[in-house]
């Protein structure tokens, strides 16, 4: 079955630690995205990538980093510079071109800073 | 820039009631419109979409019509079920742009038995 997987589902981090959230897709999509979701809030874009070895900052990139070494993988690192990292993180992917490109989302990773 | 405005939630209904969740938008181009649904603890999934004026998207008893004259894409369902309890997001994507959709803030729906 094609889809997006995220791991782990739950992640606990001590203050001052970096953590990496995994996102893998087997849909052969060119574009991948990371969003942050806080309780009662909408989605905020952290980073996105439309081609391997290239990525762009979204609206709230500070304190986060990404890489796109393979088409199917787009890991997100939450660094110690992120002041308030406790949130629900969603990875998504889509095709490019055509104009009606829906996004496919993973199941999310809930990060809690202890 | 592009924007999407959804009605504030939560929307609380009894089972079998009629549902409307309002969504209006502003866009610099000619957008495609989407409704996504997020069940508790999960990611979003596409519920329905429409790509041009007067198109009606439908899925699982939900429908929404692309109204260019009122820049709206309201979500409706004739008879909701407890299992429809979720957060619903309206979104738009403008062709020829960055392929970054603009999402509304989401509307929580709670359906009581």
pLDDT digits (tens, 9 = 90+) for B76-93: 999 999 999 999 999 999
Chain B positions in Cβ-Cβ contact with residue A92 (cut-off 8 Å)? 43-44
Give percent above pLDDT 70 in chain B. 99
Contact in structure between A4 and A15 (CB atoms under 8 Å): no
pLDDT score recorded for residue A39: 84
Pairing mode of beta strands A54-57, A76-78: unpaired
pLDDT score recorded for residue B95: 76
Which two structure tokens, joined as six digits, stand for A51?
A: 């081609």
Q: Assign B1 a pLDDT band (cuts: 50, 70, 90).
A: confident
Mean pLDDT over B36-60 rounds to 96
Pairing mode of beta strands B11-14, B107-112: parallel
Shortest distance, CA B70 to any CA of chain A (angstroms): 20
Among candidates A76, A70, A65, which has minimal Cα distance to A108? Answer: A76
Mean pLDDT over A80-103 rounds to 91
The interface residues of chain A toward chain B in range 59-88, judged by CB-CB distance below 8 A, are: none
Whether B43 and A48 lie within 8 Å, measured CB to CB: no
Cβ-based neighbours of B33, under 8 Å, separated by 6 or more:
B23, B25, B49, B50, B51, B57, B64, B66, B73, B90, B91, B92
Question: pLDDT digit string (tens) for A6-32?
Answer: 999 999 999 889 999 999 999 999 999
Whether B99 and A31 lie within 8 Å, measured CB to CB: yes
Mean pLDDT of chain B: 95
Burial of B53 (0-12, 13-18, 19+ CB in 10 A): exposed
Residue A45: alpha-carbon gap to chain centroid: 9
Mean pLDDT over A50-70 rounds to 96
């Amino acid at each position: 079955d094609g889809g997006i997987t995220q791991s782990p589902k739950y992640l606990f981090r001590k203050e001052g630690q970096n953590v990496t959230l995994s996102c893998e897709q087997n849909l052969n999509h060119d574009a991948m995205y990371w969003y942050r979701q806080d309780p009662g809030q909408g989605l905020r874009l952290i980073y996105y990538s439309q081609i391997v070895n290239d990525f762009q900052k979204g609206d709230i990139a500070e304190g986060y980093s990404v890489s796109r070494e393979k088409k199917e993988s787009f890991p997100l690192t939450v660094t110690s510079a992120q002041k308030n990292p406790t949130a629900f993180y969603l990875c998504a992917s889509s095709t490019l071109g055509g104009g009606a490109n829906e996004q496919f989302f993973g199941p999310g990773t809930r990060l809690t800073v202890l | 820039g592009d924007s999407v405005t959804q009605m504030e939630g939560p929307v609380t209904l009894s089972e079998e009631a009629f549902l409307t969740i309002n969504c209006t938008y502003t866009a610099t181009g000619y957008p495609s419109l989407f409704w996504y649904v997020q069940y508790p603890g999960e990611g979003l999934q596409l519920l329905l979409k429409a790509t041009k004026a007067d198109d009606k998207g439908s899925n699982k008893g939900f429908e929404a019509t692309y109204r260019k004259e009122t820049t709206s894409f309201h979500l409706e369902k004739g008879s909701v079920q407890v299992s429809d309890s979720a957060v619903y997001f309206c979104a738009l994507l403008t062709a020829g742009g960055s392929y970054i959709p603009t999402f509304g803030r989401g509307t929580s729906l709670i359906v009581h038995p």
